[in-house]
Structure 1
Amino acid sequence: MDYRLVEKYNVAVPRYTSYPAVPLWDSTDLNPERWMNQVVEAFEKDREISLYIHLPYCESLCTYCGCNKHITKNHLVEQPYVQAVLKEWRMYTSRFPEKAILREIHLGGGTPTFFSPENLRVLIEGILAEAEVADFHSFSFEAHPFSTSDEHLETLFNLGFNRLSLGIQDFDPKILSLINRFQTAEQVEHIVSKAREIGYESINFDLIYGLPQQTEGNIRTNLKWVESLKPDRIAFYSYAHVPGVAPSQRAYDESDLPLGEAKWNLYRLGADGFLKMGYQEIGMDHFALPQDDLAKSARAHKLHRNFMGYTPHHTHLALALGASSISDVWSAFAQNEKKLKDYLHRVNTEDYPPLIKTHYHSDEDLKTRAKLLNLICHFEGEWLDERDYFDDFLKSRFRLLEEDGLLKVFPYQVKVTRKGRAFIRNVCSVLDRKLSAGELQKPTFSKAV
């Protein structure tokens, strides 16, 4: 690829985990009763739900991380947090006319394996006591190689978990030290082996390109480990340097980072390596072996994307519990209190989930959201039944991308080219009428590459 394209399109754009992007929500109506009514309405359409649980604690601070987390070595915090999450869960289930059917559970963080196996058992048993489990379900958790024990793997497997995601980022001890993350390749190797022995169906590796002092040699080493351990899925994320949002990133400056063409070469080397090993490219940043459910759903044109990432399952209701987590009822979003102390106080003293932000979709929002999902999941969009949506403004903007070979424009359809897949965030931004030119200049969003 001509690197001039990378320079042209490497601008700040949302990652489109939602539409509108969270900073662009209209949060003027923070009415908890209205939100609960929307939840029940979504539940009545379909009892099958997805559930995300945010577990924010970490023992040490990984300086690259922009997630909501709380650093402590005091494990006495575990039980009060588990009880708060279960109380929040009951706020929802008490409104349901019958038991929910859990299609997905994902434990995210923070570091879910900060919690002891026993406390995770209490949490999940408390969740399951209020629900049924779908025959075909996907229960997953994020695992830190340093803190994940055999007992964690066995306890969660016995509770129905069948997937895990290992936060590796890079295998080089020097780079891990720079980002204050401590684990070994041997620990990763052991967890993969033990998880497969126990019976886990799918293992994901989280890897990052663009980390401080990362070189093409590091990417080649990571590829060797991937080839050896053969995870079922890979999430290959761009390091987003946003120290204004994540102050811990000030531990190093831009002189330590591979930027511009150097960073692009890291991406191409990694992505090409995964494809040569037989992985299938899934939407943005993700790769999966052909036999994995994610790859199967992509081929069947059933892939979906929510706040938990790409998934084979699309439920009308995706509830999120815990500090900072975001729920989705398709027609609206709601985010919980971000500050841990405030989250705990509000759950224990109020009768509603501790919301700080909501967004209720207009008809135009819903149309755009559906179009964006098709683009970011299937690399195409179609407007045959909504010709008024595909107006001259959109056509002219898509034509500019077509001139650069990023997509093909048809009368009522666009298809992203192979070249354009690397710029899918830019393609999606064409539909984003809420994203003004001024927003692109703010440090709110990371750059596309």
Structure 2
Amino acid sequence: MKNTIKLSALLLLFIVHLPAKAQDNKLKQHIQILSSDSMQGRLVGTIGEQMAADYIQSQFEELKLSPLPNHSYKHDFSFTYNKNPHSYEISYDTIKGQNVVAYIDNGAKHTFVFGAHYDHLGHNEYNLSTDPNGTGFIHNGADDNASGVAAVLELAKIYSSNNIKESVNFIFACFSGEELGLVGSNALAKTIKSEFPNTSLMINFDMIGRMDSTNNLNIGGIGTSPILNDVVKSKKPIDFNIELDSSGVGPSDHSSFYYQDIPVLFFFTGLHTDYHKPSDDEHKINYSKMNDIIDYSKAIVDSLAFSPNLPFTKTKLKIEKRSKTYKYSLGIFPEYKNYGDGLHIQEVIENRTAEKYGLKSGDIITKIGKTDVSDIYSYMEALSKLKADKSYKVKFTRDEKEMVVKVKF
């Protein structure tokens, strides 16, 4: 009898300390609401974005999470954007957006960030749809990126209700303005770096809802700290096939934190035929696999939290293109924000064309060959006109001084 009582007590103790798991029903609720037609595609600066932000805030409040110290849940930002990006006629909109942020203060020295963007394309007002007939139709963005937001909210629920005082603080950040150039995360990353200088990890979820039968999961950023590679591999679910990328830079919000010298990880289940189309709808989400991805990310975080002072490592840049590709490139990572005076170089890739011809971070490209460059779209247009074994004049400004270099691609 005593042995039976002891065994029962041990089983009860084991059950009580089982790690919290992601739940289908809450994930489905989040994605159904955020990707419903009522949200009108969640375009930054619209009523749909505000409705989505209100919903996210309500979930943080329901969990009794706090805003960041000296802030509200919503963090405002504004920027200008060329509303005719594929035209040489320049016309700018001034857009106001909101990030939504919550905080768990464990009184720890170091802080980890979970992040995902919640904005999407609206009715294709800015011509970013991959559907040639998409203008005027709601782009609900269930995978892109209601899925990532659902993951952040689920992790917020798990960490706020596990009755454990973790060895790190947590920030849960939902960004807007990603689709128009990582604008919201760029603003928030600077705030977090300033106010939480010991932030030592950012995990970004962008399109994690469409894992297929191959169980492929892309994880970027593993080279941004020497600790990440081994932990990511050791915690991998046995049936997952993971594709690892060392670069801290890619076409999503983790890039903004990488540029603040914060180690990053980027979870992404890959592109699909519904990417940036009105057909990216909720019923296509694989909730079971989403649960597994969230549990996997939590296992990684729990392991890293034992020694949370992750050293930052600069990585070689790798430019990912989500749609159109080009035979030739300068070998730069551009700023996606539209400044109106040319394409701003964020960083020059090592041993590539731009470095060879003396271009530097901070330079502003204004013309390639005969094509004027005012933003990312006219830059891509210029690249599409390049031909092999020909030299082209590249005009740029550096410290307000106009300069020209002749480049052979």
TM superposition score category, shorter chain reference: under 0.3
Question: Which has the bigger relative contact order, CA under 8 A and spacing at least 6?
Answer: 1
